[in-house]
């Protein structure tokens, strides 16, 4: 069994905040099924005016209730806050009987989802990140799932249009989510710091941020496409006695690596 019917299928977004809207925008921009009309998008939140504002020009149909959304959807993408999950699940459980739910609710894995929705609903925990909005995200799929094999493959193919997909055991999801989910904030801070350094040394702020973004994009792509060890790539930029190695030494002196490790530990409550 897969999500689709002969005429395609509808993905319903229950919740349309930062993550839900990022996924919807990414699908609208980068998923051929959406642009071709085979995959339709719908959404519901309790605040109709805010939902319409968030949807904007996206090809998303607003629904008047969670029950209407559950009835319309072939697969539900659950994007509410963790504290809202129990109430959301109880209100639409019956309307989702025999259907699939892809949950992007942070830190709520397969066992808890199955407890909330019961055996009549097939569930999958997915942890995406906000760069999906521009087709450059990461989606972590928990290995434990009650989706059919076909549905699992279809869900991974859907998210692969928005970036990289990685399937992990539940025991590793929390640590991986800290890297991929929280990591963008750390990179934005690094980009802001590089921008400040550029301004301090005479660059216009817009130019400094543009350079920082281009450097991070290019360095990430080089790391991803070459498969080289990051230390090897770093060494390739550092000439003996040169400017870069002096900058590297300064970062080491200021605890650069340990600061990043401590930041990830902090997200895990360590």
How does pLDDT run across 161-200, given as a tens digit for each residue? 999 999 999 999 999 999 999 999 999 999 999 999 999 9
CATH code of the domain in which 131 resides:
3.40.50.720
Residue 1 belongs to some domain of the structure: no
Q: Please indicate, yes or no, whether residues 123 and 215 belong to a single structural domain of this protein.
A: no
Q: Please indicate, yes or no, whether residues 121 and 28 belong to a single structural domain of this protein.
A: yes
Q: Please indicate, yes or no, whether residues 153 and 212 belong to a single structural domain of this protein.
A: no
Q: Please indicate, yes or no, whether residues 59 and 105 belong to a single structural domain of this protein.
A: yes
Q: What pLDDT sits at residue 91?
A: 85
Domain tally, the chain: 2
Of 7 and 8, which is predicted with more confidence?
A: 8
Q: Please indicate, yes or no, whether residues 116 and 226 belong to a single structural domain of this protein.
A: no
Q: Please indicate, yes or no, whether residues 123 and 211 belong to a single structural domain of this protein.
A: no
Q: What is the DSSP letter of 227?
A: -
CA angle 224, 225, 227 (to 5 degrees): 70
Which residues does 38 contact at the CB level (< 8 Å), separation at least 6? 4, 7, 8, 9
Which domain does 35 fall in, by range? 9-168
CATH code of the domain in which 226 resides:
1.10.3730.10
> Distance between CA atoms of 127 and 246, rounded to whole angstroms?
38
Q: Please indicate, yes or no, whether residues 130 and 54 belong to a single structural domain of this protein.
A: yes
Q: Please indicate, yes or no, whether residues 68 and 103 belong to a single structural domain of this protein.
A: yes
pTM value is 0.92
Q: Please indicate, yes or no, whether residues 119 and 205 belong to a single structural domain of this protein.
A: no
Residue 141's SS3 state is strand
What pLDDT digit, counting tens, does each position of 217-266 carry? 999 999 999 999 999 999 999 999 999 999 999 999 999 999 999 999 99
Residue 36 belongs to some domain of the structure: yes
Q: Please indicate, yes or no, whether residues 116 and 36 belong to a single structural domain of this protein.
A: yes
């Amino acid at each position: 069994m897969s999500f689709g019917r002969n005429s395609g299928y509808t993905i319903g977004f229950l919740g349309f905040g930062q993550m839900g809207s990022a996924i919807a925008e990414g699908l609208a921009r980068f998923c051929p099924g959406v642009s071709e009309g085979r995959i339709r998008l719908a959404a519901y939140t309790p605040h109709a005016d805010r939902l319409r504002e968030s949807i904007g020009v996206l090809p998303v149909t607003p629904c008047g209730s969670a029950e209407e959304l559950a009835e319309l959807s072939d697969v539900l993408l659950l994007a509410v806050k963790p504290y809202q999950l129990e109430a959301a699940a109880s209100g639409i459980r019956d309307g989702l009987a025999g259907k699939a739910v892809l949950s992007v609710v942070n830190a709520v894995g397969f066992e808890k989802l199955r407890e909330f929705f019961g055996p009549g609903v097939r569930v999958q925990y997915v942890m995406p990140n906000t760069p999906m909005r521009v087709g450059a995200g990461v989606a972590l799929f928990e290995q434990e799932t009650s989706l059919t094999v076909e549905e699992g493959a279809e869900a991974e193919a859907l998210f692969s249009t928005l970036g990289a997909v990685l399937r992990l055991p539940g025991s590793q999801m929390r640590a991986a989510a800290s890297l991929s989910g929280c990591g963008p904030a750390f990179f934005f801070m690094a980009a802001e710091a590089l921008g400040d350094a550029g301004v301090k040394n005479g660059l216009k702020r817009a130019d400094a941020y543009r350079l920082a973004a281009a450097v991070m994009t290019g360095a990430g792509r080089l790391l991803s496409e070459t498969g080289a060890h990051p230390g090897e790539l770093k060494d390739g930029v550092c000439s003996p006695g040169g400017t870069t190695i002096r900058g590297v030494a300064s970062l080491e002196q200021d605890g650069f690596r340990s600061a990043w490790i401590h930041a990830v530990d902090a997200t895990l409550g360590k």
